[in-house]
Amino acid sequence: MESQERVQHSASFVVVDKLKDYMLLIKFTLSFTVVFSSVISYLLAPNITFNLVSVLLLLIGGMLITGSANAINQIAEKDTDALMKRTAKRPVANGKMSVGEASVFAAVTGAAGVYIIGEWFNWTAAMLGLFSLFLYGFVYTPLKKVHSISVLVGAIPGALPCLIGWVAATEEMSVGGWALFGIQFLWQFPHFWAIAWVAHNDYTRAGFKLMPSDAGPTKYSAIQAVIYSLLMIPVGLIPYFIQMSGMVSLIIVLLANLFMVWQSIRLYREMNVQAARRVMFSSYIYLPVVLLSLLADKVAGV
């Protein structure tokens, strides 16, 4: 009896351990953040009311597509991931998961996610999802070692979830979807450059070229974060001017944008990791605050 319990406990441990590996493979927290923006964009579309089944299917389909893209990324970067402290525990990098297993997982989840979005919503949204997966996994990922323009390329699949959610609701790539795309597109530059600043030594060791300056964390890199934070201000006002949102969210979005500008200016003035970390954490807060404020206005009927 005791032996049987040990076997069951061991089997449970193996299952939990494997589940953790897959959570790392899909970068669960990052994937959920990306899909969150897609769901909010779906709910922001006109004539859409909350439907639990639709929201769950969009969430599942989006997680499958994003998880597939992240798995492809880890397969391609297994050797460089092993060199960096922040990524060394990823399952393909540390050898806990074979390239073959990860590849099958990426193919199955990617196909399943595209199918779910296409069948339940529409195939325009599904094809945007497939395009996003391809761009992230097969263009952005290898480009990271070639040129810093990879950040610009990577910002496209990073912002497409907003457009995907909007198109899933409306079947149109209309101005509202592009406004949300623009907000998330510009947000990624100060966000990602702050991460690259904090992890500069790791990224350099792995051969990634992610900072806007080849010299790394310089005044030029910091001023780029300031510029893109400033560009976020007019783009953040678009939802108000196209009557997607009201005065309350306008004020919240404006304050959030000014806060990002201030943190980027502090980075330019202080030029240290602590200031970059403040930009990074501010950007984590920025996106949910902005998207939820837009949604709150819609729910309130403003």
Burial (CB count <10 Å: 0-12, 13-18, 19+), residue 254: middle
Residue 12 confidence (pLDDT): 59
- Give the per-residue pLDDT at 4: 55
Contact present, 33 and 63 (Cβ < 8 Å): no
Q: Is 192 exposed, middle or buried (0-12, 13-18, 19+ CB in 10 A)?
A: buried
Going residue by residue through the chain, which has 302 residues, state the pLDDT in tens, using 9 for 90 and above.
555 555 455 555 677 878 888 888 888 888 888 899 999 999 999 888 888 999 999 999 999 999 999 999 999 888 888 887 888 888 888 888 889 999 999 999 999 999 999 999 999 999 999 999 999 999 998 898 888 788 889 999 999 999 999 999 999 999 999 999 999 999 999 998 998 888 888 888 778 877 887 777 889 989 999 999 999 999 999 999 998 888 999 999 999 999 999 999 999 999 999 999 999 999 999 999 999 999 998 877 65
Residues 6+ apart with CB under 8 A from 278: 263, 266, 267
What DSSP line would sit under 107-176, residue for residue? HHHHHHHHHHHHHHT-HHHHHHHHHHHHIIIIIIHHHTTT-TTHHHHHHHHHHHHHHHHHHHHHSS--HH
Q: Where are the domains of the chain?
A: 12-173, 176-302
Separate counts of helices (H) and strands (E) for the chain: 13, 0
State the Cα–Cα distance between residues 59 and 103, nearest whole angstrom: 22
The token pair at 249 is 């969210």
> Which residues are within 8 A (CB) of 120 and not within 5 positions of it... i.e. 6 or more apart?
54, 57, 58, 61
pTM for this predicted structure: 0.88
pLDDT for res 11: 53
Q: Structure tokens of 158?
A: 């990073």
Distance of alpha carbon 134 from alpha carbon 142, whole angstroms:
12
Q: Which amino acid is at 243?
A: Q
Residue 220 parent element (H or E): helix 219-241
Quote the pLDDT of residue 134. Answer: 95
For residue 15, the model assigns a pLDDT of 74
Name the fold adopted by 12-173: Tetracycline Repressor; domain 2 (1.10.357)
What's the confidence (pLDDT) of residue 175? 93
